Amino acid sequence: LGEAWNFSEMTTCVTEDDSITSVSLSDITSSSSISDRVCVHWGCELSSSQTTAVFAAEDDLLENQFFIKTICLSAQASDEMHVIAVSDGVGESKPVPIATLRHCMPTVSFPALELMPPVTFSLCSGNGPVFISAQHIT
C-alpha cells in the first residue's frame, strides 16, 4: 500500500519587507525530489516456525530508505523473553539485538531507526509471534 502526499494546500508566507503572500506548497516542492518519493508500509511476523524475515529492495538503482517503526508481541505469545535482532546490508554486519519483549513490555517504537537494505530480522529467543512494522521509501 502506497502513501500519496497532497501538496496542493496553500500556505501564507511573510517576506522580508513584511508583505504577506500566498504560495502553493506544490510550487515550493515542484523542483524537489521529495514529490517523486514513494512510501510503502512493510511488515512481517516472526515465530518459532519462521525465525527470520528479510526485506530486500527490488531496485538497487534507486535510493532506498528503510525505517523500522514498531516491534510488538502478539497477545498469544507465551510469557517468556523474546529477543529480536537485526542486520543490514552495510558490510558484513553481525545481528544486533534491538528489542527485548515480554508481556509486561509488549511493544517498542523507533522514531528514526534507518537501515540499509537488505535487512534481516531474527527471533533469537522466544517463540513469538512477534510483529514488525516498517516503512520503505524510494
- Residues 67, 124, single domain; the answer is yes
15 and 53 part of one domain: no
Q: What is the pLDDT of residue 95?
A: 92
Helix (H, G, I), strand (E, B) or coil at 25: helix
Same domain, 47 and 112: yes
- Per-residue pLDDT tens for 13-52? 344 455 444 444 344 344 444 557 788 899 999 999 999 9
List Cβ neighbours of 129 (8 Å cut-off, separation of 6 or more): 45, 46, 47, 73, 74, 76, 77
Residues 42 and 24 in one domain: no
Range of the domain at 4: 1-36
User: Is residue 78 domain-shared with residue 108, that is, in the same domain?
Assistant: yes
Total domains, the chain:
2
Same domain, 65 and 19: no
> Does 6 share its domain with 54?
no
- Does residue 19 sit in the same domain as residue 58? no
Evaluate if pTM is beyond 0.85.
no
Q: What is the CATH number of the domain that holds 97?
A: 2.60.120.340
49 shares its domain with 115: yes
Query: Side chain identity at 16, as an amino acid letter?
Result: E
Asked whether residue 90 falls in the same domain as residue 51, the answer is yes
Q: What is the pLDDT of residues 50-100, one digit of tens each?
A: 999 999 987 666 788 899 999 999 999 999 999 999 998 776 778 999 999
Contact 47, 123 (CB under 8 A): yes
- Per-residue confidence (pLDDT) for residue 25, from 0 to 100: 39
